[in-house]
């Protein structure tokens, strides 16, 4: 039987900012001139917020492909892009535990993470609500299980709160994602006019902020585009061509 991974959330630790500084210094040292900027993100970056004891970091680089080898001696294990195309994710499990997300400059997920972090830093009530949500999720059924998703119930359970905050902040960057979370899947079904997403496909969505405006899929194993569906308002803004271009670029790198 597979052992279920437990999720640990603790009260804010005042040592976390210093841990980030030490980790970020090492990352910048090995990435050298490729590193444009680096940021502390996630709950450990918000004073007073309960969090998993793992330092989340975003690094902006000029070029993605050359970052894997330099980070390996620091203990960072490359994990792929997960649900965010054109993104490298790393985990560090020895010493100070850390998640490292690397993007090329201009990727919209950089602004998303910084917007969410800064809102929590500035709003005490939101911090308290988010901390309580985490405690409630840890008491709920299925919190440690993935149930067909790449994410646990704990991670997925935070989606609505994050969406609410981003809407309050008027976050409206155009985003290209693998179709993963429940709200994305339901929006894709609505665009398709179907109760199920087609099998043997990779499913993608195009979002404006947190709202899904387009759906596209890639046939496997051929890696060819099948459907591109955009809602009418978004189509007038040229998003059909944009989604096709992004999927084509993603296929080219595979």
180 and 254 both lie in a single domain: yes
Q: How many domains does the chain have?
A: 2
29, 72 Cβ separation under 8 angstroms:
no
Higher pLDDT, 145 or 109: 109
**Domain termination site, one of 82, 107, 132:** 107
Q: Is residue 157 one of the residues assigned to a domain?
A: no
Q: Choose among 197, 27, 4: nearest CA to 98.
A: 27
100 and 179 both lie in a single domain: no
**Tokens linked to 86:** 């054109």
Please tell me the pTM assigned to this model: 0.90
**Domain termination site, one of 57, 85, 107:** 107
Render pLDDT for 234-245 as a digit per residue (tens, 0 to 9).
Answer: 999 999 999 999
> Does residue 150 have a pLDDT over 70?
no
CATH number of the domain bearing residue 40: 3.30.460.10
Q: Is residue 136 one of the residues assigned to a domain?
A: no
Q: Choose among 174, 118, 183: nearest CA to 156.
A: 183
In the 3-class helix/strand/coil scheme, how is 92-126 assigned residue by residue? ECCCCCEEEEEEECCCHHHHHHHHHHHHHHHCHHH
Q: Is residue 39 one of the residues assigned to a domain?
A: yes
* Mean pLDDT within 141-159: 61
Confidence of residue 155 (pLDDT cuts 50, 70, 90): low
23 and 100 both lie in a single domain: yes
Render pLDDT for 80-134 as a digit per residue (tens, 0 to 9).
Answer: 999 999 999 999 999 999 999 999 999 999 999 999 999 999 999 999 999 999 8
> Does residue 36 have a pLDDT over 80?
yes
Q: What is the pLDDT of residue 143?
A: 58
> Does residue 182 have a pLDDT over 50?
yes
The domain of 190 spans: 172-254
178, 202 Cβ separation under 8 angstroms:
yes
Q: Is residue 124 one of the residues assigned to a domain?
A: no
176 and 102 both lie in a single domain: no
Render pLDDT for 204-219 as a digit per residue (tens, 0 to 9).
Answer: 999 999 999 999 999 9
Q: What is the pLDDT of residue 3?
A: 44
CATH number of the domain bearing residue 195: 3.40.630.30
Q: Is residue 163 one of the residues assigned to a domain?
A: no
């Amino acid at each position: 039987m597979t052992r279920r991974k437990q999720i640990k959330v603790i009260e804010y630790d005042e040592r976390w900012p210093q841990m980030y500084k030490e980790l970020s210094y090492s990352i910048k040292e090995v990435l050298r001139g490729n590193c444009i900027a680096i940021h502390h993100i996630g709950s450990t970056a918000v004073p007073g917020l309960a969090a998993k004891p793992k330092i989340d970091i975003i690094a902006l680089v000029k070029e993605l492909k050359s970052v894997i080898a330099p980070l390996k001696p620091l203990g960072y294990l490359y994990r792929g892009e997960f649900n965010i195309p054109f993104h490298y994710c790393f985990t560090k499990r020895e010493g100070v535990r850390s998640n490292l997300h690397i993007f090329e400059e201009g990727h919209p997920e950089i602004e998303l993470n910084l917007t969410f972090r800064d809102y929590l830093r500035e709003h005490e009530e939101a911090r308290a609500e988010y901390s309580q949500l985490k405690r409630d999720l840890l008491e709920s059924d299925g919190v440690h299980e993935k149930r067909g998703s790449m994410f646990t119930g704990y991670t997925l359970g935070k989606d609505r709160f994050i969406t609410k905050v981003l809407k309050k902040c008027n976050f409206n960057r155009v985003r290209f994602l693998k179709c993963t979370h429940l709200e994305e899947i339901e929006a894709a079904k609505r665009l398709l006019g179907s109760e199920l997403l087609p099998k043997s496909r990779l499913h993608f969505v195009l979002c404006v902020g947190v709202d899904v405006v387009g759906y596209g899929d890639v046939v496997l194993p051929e890696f060819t585009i099948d459907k591109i569906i955009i809602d009418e308002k978004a189509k007038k803004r040229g998003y059909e061509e944009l989604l096709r271009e992004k999927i084509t670029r993603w296929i080219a790198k595979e």
